[in-house]
Amino acid sequence: MNGKKIATILVILFVVFFIVNSPKDAADIVKSAQHILAHGFQSVSEFIKNL
């Protein structure tokens, strides 16, 4: 196995571990990420409209 595959597997295992041990915190992180992405897309859209 190369390093990239090992790193990917470790990240996936960490995410699963985090979700199992702290589902509320994991959900809060996803909600925050969703909010950040939505705000980013809204800002880009507004920028394009103002061009």
Number of domains making up the chain? 1
Whether residue 37 is contained in a domain is answered as yes
49: which 2 tokens?
């409209």
Whether residue 47 is contained in a domain is answered as yes
pTM, whole model, 2 decimals? 0.63
Whether residue 41 is contained in a domain is answered as yes
What pLDDT score was predicted for residue 36? 95
C-alpha torsion angle, residues 5, 14, 31, 4 (rounded to 10):
-10
What pLDDT score was predicted for residue 45? 95
Which residues, given as ranges, of the chain have pLDDT below 50? none
| Structural domain span for residue 39 | 23-51
What pLDDT score was predicted for residue 23? 92
Whether residue 1 is contained in a domain is answered as no
d(CA 27, CA 15): 12
